[in-house]
Amino acid sequence: MGGVQVERRGAVAQVTIDRPEARNALNLEAMADLDRVLAEAAGWDLHVLFITGGGDRAFVSGGDLKELESVREEPFALDMARRMRATLDRIPALPFPVVAIVNGHAIGGGAEVAIACDYRLAAADVKIGFTQATLGLLPAWGGIERLVQTVGRGRALHLLTTGRTIDAEEALRVGLFEEVVPRAQLEERAAGLAVELAAVPPGALAGIKSAAEAAFPYARPELAERATADFARAWTDSAHWEALERAQARRRG
């Protein structure tokens, strides 16, 4: 598949976004592959599904702008946002925990992938940031409402409107990460978590997720049209492309 690898071992599966040439950024092919995997996972007999990034530099660094910036039309942006939002909305419906193993920086859309998971285990040296505002955009994959629900309205708006990136310690303190461990212990802790979850009967795992979703919905499809439409308009705005050019110039400099 296009940069999305799947490994299943008994009751544990791991999905790895593995595009080292793009710091694990999601291009259209990888987005489609991730959607197919999550759709298929609904039929797997699992106790936990891990989502992580290949290597140790990035978890997911958002959408692959090198590919996506070639199309600047609003219908393209709207369709891309709708599809990716629907992909991440599959996660709350899965009958087992989906855990982000944040082994590298989670930036922009990568932060949206992380927050869409049921909870997050992170290496101590990673950073996370909803940086879309710095490019004249807004999160369109459900990240705004999930972040508000996770850390509270004021803190979420602070992170979203400034595009600020925070380290793992602060992310743990504000409730964005549930566990943070030294990088050398990350793989071992993920294996330990898999053992813990394997001891819980599947019916209990499914019931817990269902009740949690009923109490505090993690997927809000009724908000999708407004969020994706706002994103698509921002995508075509000259302010976005000017901000992107400035960001690219800084990286080159």
Q: Please check whether residue 131 lies inside any domain of the structure.
A: yes
**Residue 1 — pLDDT band, cuts 50, 70, 90?**
low
Q: Provide the number of structural domains found in the chain.
A: 1
Q: Please check whether residue 48 lies inside any domain of the structure.
A: yes
Structural domain for 163, as ranges? 4-184
**Using CA atoms, how far apart are residues 179 and 85, in angstroms rounded to an integer?**
25
Q: Please check whether residue 159 lies inside any domain of the structure.
A: yes
Q: Please check whether residue 196 lies inside any domain of the structure.
A: no
pLDDT digits (tens, 9 = 90+) for 76-129: 999 999 999 999 999 999 999 999 999 999 999 999 999 999 999 999 999 999
| CB 184, CB 59: distance < 8 Å | no
Helix (H), strand (E), coil (C) string for the chain: CCCEEEEEECCEEEEEECCHHHCCCECHHHHHHHHHHHHHHCCCCCCEEEEEECCCCEEECCECHHHHCCCCCHHHHHHHHHHHHHHHCCHHHCCCCEEEEECCEEECHHHHHHHHCCEEEEECCCEEECHHHHHCCCCCCCHHHHHHHHHCHHHHHHHHHHCCEEEHHHHHHHCCCCEEECHHHHHHHHHHHHHHHHCCCHHHHHHHHHHHHHHCCCCCHHHHHHHHHHHHHHHHCHHHHHHHHHHHHHHHC
Q: Please check whether residue 11 lies inside any domain of the structure.
A: yes
pLDDT digits (tens, 9 = 90+) for 183-207: 999 999 999 999 999 999 999 999 9
| CB 6, CB 19: distance < 8 Å | no
Mean of the per-residue pLDDT values of the chain:
95
pLDDT given at position 71: 83
**Residue 253 — pLDDT band, cuts 50, 70, 90?**
low
Report the CATH number that the domain containing residue 14 is assigned in CATH.
3.90.226.10
Q: Please check whether residue 100 lies inside any domain of the structure.
A: yes
Q: Please check whether residue 68 lies inside any domain of the structure.
A: yes
Query: What is the value of pTM for the model shown?
Result: 0.96
For the chain, the straight-line distance linking the first and the last C-alpha, in angstroms and rounded, comes to 34
Report CA torsion sign: 235, 239, 242, 243. Answer: negative
pLDDT digits (tens, 9 = 90+) for 235-244: 999 999 999 8
pLDDT digits (tens, 9 = 90+) for 202-221: 999 999 999 999 999 999 99
Q: Please check whether residue 210 lies inside any domain of the structure.
A: no
